[in-house]
Amino acid sequence: MLNTTNDPLQISPHLELTAQEKRQIVAFLKTLTDEEFITDPRFSEPK
């Protein structure tokens, strides 16, 4: 994953994440998506 920050302490241009860190990020991102909520007709645009 290319790191495009301007942090001078970040020597490598890539984020060096372990497999565990990658899994944790994916698990966190999945918590931000609630398929049940976004498909619930009670919350859809009124007709």
pLDDT tens digits for the chain (47 residues)? 566 666 677 666 677 889 999 999 999 999 888 888 888 989 888 87
Amino acid code (one letter) for 27: A
- What phi and psi values does residue 35 have, to the nearest 5 degrees? -60, -40
Contact 31, 24 (CB under 8 A): no
Other beta carbons within 10 Å of 6: 6
Instruction: Give me the pLDDT at residue 37, please.
Output: 86
Decide: pTM greater than 0.85: no
Domains of the chain, by residue range, sit at 14-38
Q: Which residues contact 3 (CB under 8 A, 6 or more apart)?
A: 10, 12, 13, 14, 15
